[in-house]
Structure 1
Amino acid sequence: MATVTSDPFVGRLVDGRYHVVSRIARGGMATVYLAVDRRLDREVALKVMHPHLAEGTDGGEFVARFRREARAAARLAHPGVVAVFDQGVDGETSYLTMEYVPGTNLRHVLQDEGSLSVGRTLDLLEEILDALAAAHRKGLVHRDVKPENVLLDESGRVKVADFGLARAVSEGASTATSTILGTVAYLGPELITSGRCDARTDVYSVGVLAYEMLTGRHPFTGETPLQVAFQHVNSDVPAPSDVEPWIPAEVDVLVCALAARSPEDRPVDASAALALVRQTRQALDPAALEGRSSHPTRTAAASGAEPAPSTGSPDTAVLGVATAALAGALARPGDTPSGTTGTPAPPTAPDSTPTTALPGLWATRGEGATQPTDRAGTQHTLALDRATVAAHGDAPGSEDGPEDEVLRRAGRRRRAWWWGLAIVVLLAGALTGASWWFLSGPGAYTIVPGGLVGAPQAGAEQTLAAVDLRSDVTEAYDDTFAAGTVISTDPGAGEKVRKDGEVHLLVSLGVKMIEIPTGLVGKPAEEATEALKDAGFTVGDPVEAYSDTVPAGTVVSVSEAEGTSVPHSTVPVLTVSQGPAPVTIPQVVGLGKDAALTALTDLGLDPSSTDDYSETVAAGLVISQTPENGTEGHRGDKVALVVSLGPPLVEIPNTYGRNVTEAEKMLKDAGFAVEIRHPQGISPLNIVYAQDPAGGAGKTAPKGSTIVINVF
């Protein structure tokens, strides 16, 4: 599939996760890009809604419809439906992430090949209808079936995309004034006229799609979409063989049934349409499936030759005649085959290709509805030519000659043929009515029994088996219903289901349990949060707490024990460290060493001390601190103290035998205080004969201390 890279969105990282690689396609509501999911390392299709659609008074409706696409498609789990992975908003950008399907789409195939063979058309119809049937069983209508939304992967398998226009059936009854979304070439008449749609609207679109695959063109064209829509509402989709005469009559019947103008004339849903396609395939010979092969009925009719004798069983041959006759009889009054006027001539004998009536797969035709007809059976005429008359007698115009007898015998044969035809028509009508009653009408259905929801699975299956209904079980987690009990049924209790049909049971697995990842404590908060989200949890707002040991931004604890299994609705909360708590440094200068250390330790600080002499601070008291008093810090911060050792030690001068005046000066110069005593009384000599403490080499005392000298 070709991609476009000249787009400003290319190269952008959406929502921190999806790296846009290239543009794939652009539609009316959104643009689709190829992107890489960096988290899961895989290619995805990223669908981005056009920003202008979210503006104005209708912006909210468009955004809601865009987001509804994810919810609708996510309910479908089918290999033929493109899976939706995620939905989100990045700023002003609303986006979806979907399965990326490398390959092409049906539009490109039709552009390359023009038209497809009958066999390939039926193959594609089966895959498309199988995917739509899964949606219809969920109560979803696609509303926009067209070649662009039919993707073909690299192996050729079909995947139906873009449920962006899908709505639940309960929402399908929108008013006629609402905006009609979809491609007009494929819209059902009821969607155009009233805005109402159901599963049969998708069947109509598939019928138009089948016409286009077989003929390479649309059934209705016009210069404006309004002209095309008018034709959908007021005209029947023509038979494909009007364009391509090689197409078998059985395929005409199929296409006209799928694309019937009245919803009541179509198969009730994709499942019924799928059964009709398979029944049509069984009615065709292998040569017809190859495409433009010889089709006996149509070849004989076109050439004017007698058709080959039927090689099928007598019942098959009679049923073929009855089908052709019934088709002609049910056509609108006044309708005639293409190229003829007046009363249709009787059909010839059936061809060698078995023709199946295909009864019971669509509802009874309403008044005025156009029936698919077998032109191979209605365009033949019985003509008694002049050569035949001449072979039996005189030339025309003679009275009471052999020619008159021949004409009389021909008239009797013609009347006998018409009586035979009337009987065949009556028998065919009875057969068709009975077939409709038992295969598609009221006789084909039963009622889904009640009491299944909330019942154990085994009991529900027994209840269904008792009324000859099969059960198909899908399991899902549920917060309300106990494990092993039925959550819902499809169809629901009291609704109709075909006899010997199947009821889908959704059985509870109980509350979904998820394991809390291990190793969260000690991780950065962002990594731990991502691990919880990847495990499937919605993570609560983190709680911040101070920690003396865990670095800031790191997980301290988790509200749920790691490695334990908890309900999926649990909201784990992470406690994240803010680092150490703030502390104001106190004043400890002047305190004793032990008291200062205790005060700082109690605040969570880390104090240390050194000793130094001080002439002003007594020994054992704090001289200074770093940081200073009033500084803002955190628990665990270091605080350095200087503790006083008292005054420094000074050598004591020896003043023995010196004059008192000289001795006093020596001591004061050394930093001591001097006390002069006269134990012997005052003497005119004034000589120091003793000092305390004694001085001399190696003799010290604290600076500022008092030295006593005795004088006589």
Structure 2
Amino acid sequence: GSIAPEYLSEYILPALPISGGSHTDRFLRESLLLLRLRHPAIPALHDYFFEDGCWYLVIDYIAGPTLATYLRQHAPLPPLEALNYALQLCDVLDYLHRQTPPVIFRNLKPANSILTPGGRLMLIDFGIARYFKEEQVNDTIHFGSPGYASPEQYYGTGQTDVRSDLFSLGVILHEMISGQHPIERSQPLESVRQNNPALSPVLSALIMIATRADPRYRFQSAHAFLRALERTYAIEERRAYQQRVHIARAARPVDTGARPVVQLKEIPQHNDEKQVTGGLTRVKFAVDSTPALELPEPAACEVRQEVAPMKQYMMQLCIALALLLVLLGLAALLYFQT
């Protein structure tokens, strides 16, 4: 669905030949839109023009593979890495949606993001992006990539809005975590914990909310989704630290006299988790591998029990002697005064 070249360059690249119709209109609309946008994750458009029967774009060159290529080689990704990429995409969506009128990208998928050598994602291909029209009921023309497009966008059941882009981001996050490429389907995405129960219920709930079929029950703004992603990242960071501590304890040589005790311990849900999931998960369980305390030998206990009364008796005797000396001093003072 793109008019612009797939690989951007600082040099002049040919686009589609002039047709004098819808293709030219879409090309000019994309060019004028890019000229308005200024964001670190959006390549800058320097110029566009028509020459020798073709339209040309002059855009920043972005080095690196697309996110789709990266996922084919490395998916599933660790939760923290996947959330980092989702945060970057959500930040640029938040910027687009705060324009007046809001800009709906409508084509968010891994193939439309380039991963730079520095780990930054750049959003490309604004060919079907459009401004949101408050009074419009449906999109004029239905575009979208199967699997990534929201139901209202792909099936034409309503006008695409900011929640449509957030649905696509939720699908991308699901793909990064699960390693499963989405396909056109009418059923909700499977929980990421179905194939990997070790993943946190918070992360699973976040994806479930973002990819609900009815846009009324998704995140209602990119800003809200961004805050939820940040909280989830903090939770996953804490879980990763706890896992590293658990592995380090398990790798330590254990004294035969102090065997580690492994037990399930009920932990109240963290406030951040409640804010992300809305209290969907009440309680979680963790493994406590803290070594058992060494109990003192019985003989030592008996000695301590004998020593304690003796110390108490000596203290009482010292207090009594001190009081006697004070009384004698007072008596002597009264005697000499009289």
Q: TM-score, normalised by structure 1?
A: 0.35
CA gap 1:289/1:91 in 2 versus in 1, 3 angstroms: farther
Distance 1:289 1:145 in 2: 32
Residues 191-216 of structure 1, C-alpha deviation per residue, up to 9 Å, x if partnerless? Answer: 12325101111100000000000011
Q: Tell me the amino acid that sits aligned with residue 127 of structure 1.
A: Q
* Counterpart pick for 1:97 among 46, 58, 68: 58
Deviation at 1:69, TM superposition (A): 0.9
Q: Which runs of 5+ in 1 are unaligned?
A: 1-26, 36-42, 222-227, 296-304, 311-316, 321-352, 362-371, 378-712
Deviation at 1:173, TM superposition (A): 3.4
1:273 aligns with 2:225: yes
Q: Tell me the amino acid that sits aligned with residue 216 of structure 2.
A: E
1:236 aligns with 2:205: no
* Counterpart pick for 2:152 among 187, 190, 205: 190
RMSD: 3.3
Greater RCO (CA < 8 Å, at least 6 residues apart): 2
Distance 1:213 1:28 in 2: 24
* Counterpart pick for 1:308 among 265, 271, 275: 265
Distance 1:285 1:261 in 2: 29
Are the counterparts in 2 of residues 118 and 289 from structure 1 also a CA contact under 8 Å? Answer: no
Residues 328-359 of structure 1, C-alpha deviation per residue, up to 9 Å, x if partnerless? Answer: xxxxxxxxxxxxxxxxxxxxxxxxx7771126
Distance 1:120 1:91 in 2: 46
Identity rate, percent: 27
CA gap 1:293/1:31 in 2 versus in 1, 3 angstroms: farther
Deviation at 1:30, TM superposition (A): 4.6
Deviation at 1:33, TM superposition (A): 5.6
Are the counterparts in 1 of residues 206 and 276 from structure 2 also a CA contact under 8 Å? Answer: no
Cross-structure match for 2:174: 211
Q: Tell me the amino acid that sits aligned with residue 44 of structure 2.
A: A
Deviation at 1:129, TM superposition (A): 0.8
Q: Secondary structure at the match of 2:88?
A: helix
Deviation at 1:156, TM superposition (A): 1.6
Q: Which runs of 5+ in 2 are unaligned?
A: 248-261, 285-338
Cross-structure match for 1:358: 275
Are the counterparts in 1 of residues 143 and 153 from structure 2 also a CA contact under 8 Å? Answer: no
Deviation at 1:282, TM superposition (A): 2.4
CA gap 1:268/1:33 in 2 versus in 1, 3 angstroms: closer
CA gap 1:173/1:251 in 2 versus in 1, 3 angstroms: same
* Counterpart pick for 1:258 among 192, 199, 210: 210
Residues 478-501 of structure 1, C-alpha deviation per residue, up to 9 Å, x if partnerless? Answer: xxxxxxxxxxxxxxxxxxxxxxxx
Distance 1:160 1:182 in 2: 16
Cross-structure match for 2:72: 111
Residues 241-261 of structure 1, C-alpha deviation per residue, up to 9 Å, x if partnerless? Answer: 112222111100111111121
Q: TM-score, normalised by structure 2?
A: 0.70
Distance 1:150 1:79 in 2: 13
Are the counterparts in 2 of residues 117 and 289 from structure 1 also a CA contact under 8 Å? Answer: no
Q: Tell me the amino acid that sits aligned with residue 77 of structure 2.
A: L
Which structure has more strand as a fraction of its residues? 1
1:162 aligns with 2:125: yes
1:246 aligns with 2:198: yes
CA gap 1:283/1:60 in 2 versus in 1, 3 angstroms: same
1:80 aligns with 2:41: yes
CA gap 1:252/1:156 in 2 versus in 1, 3 angstroms: same
Residues 208-252 of structure 1, C-alpha deviation per residue, up to 9 Å, x if partnerless? Answer: 000000011134x3xxxxxx1xx2xx3222221112222111100
Distance 1:91 1:290 in 2: 63
Q: Tell me the amino acid that sits aligned with residue 189 of structure 1.
A: P
Distance 1:283 1:34 in 2: 37
CA gap 1:252/1:359 in 2 versus in 1, 3 angstroms: closer
Deviation at 1:124, TM superposition (A): 0.7
Q: Tell me the amino acid that sits aligned with residue 307 of structure 1.
A: L
What is the aligned length? Answer: 268
Q: Tell me the amino acid that sits aligned with residue 106 of structure 1.
A: L
Q: Tell me the amino acid that sits aligned with residue 264 of structure 2.
A: P
Are the counterparts in 2 of residues 73 and 83 from structure 1 also a CA contact under 8 Å? Answer: yes
Are the counterparts in 2 of residues 287 and 294 from structure 1 also a CA contact under 8 Å? Answer: no
CA gap 1:91/1:44 in 2 versus in 1, 3 angstroms: closer
Distance 2:77 2:162 in 1: 26
CA gap 1:373/1:360 in 2 versus in 1, 3 angstroms: closer
Q: Tell me the amino acid that sits aligned with residue 133 of structure 1.
A: D
Q: Secondary structure at the match of 1:260?
A: coil
Cross-structure match for 1:61: 22
Are the counterparts in 1 of residues 90 and 226 from structure 2 also a CA contact under 8 Å? Answer: yes
Are the counterparts in 2 of residues 106 and 148 from structure 1 also a CA contact under 8 Å? Answer: yes
Distance 1:291 1:95 in 2: 52
Deviation at 1:283, TM superposition (A): 2.8
Distance 2:265 2:271 in 1: 12
1:150 aligns with 2:125: no
Bigger Rg, which one: 1
Distance 2:243 2:77 in 1: 8
Cross-structure match for 2:297: none
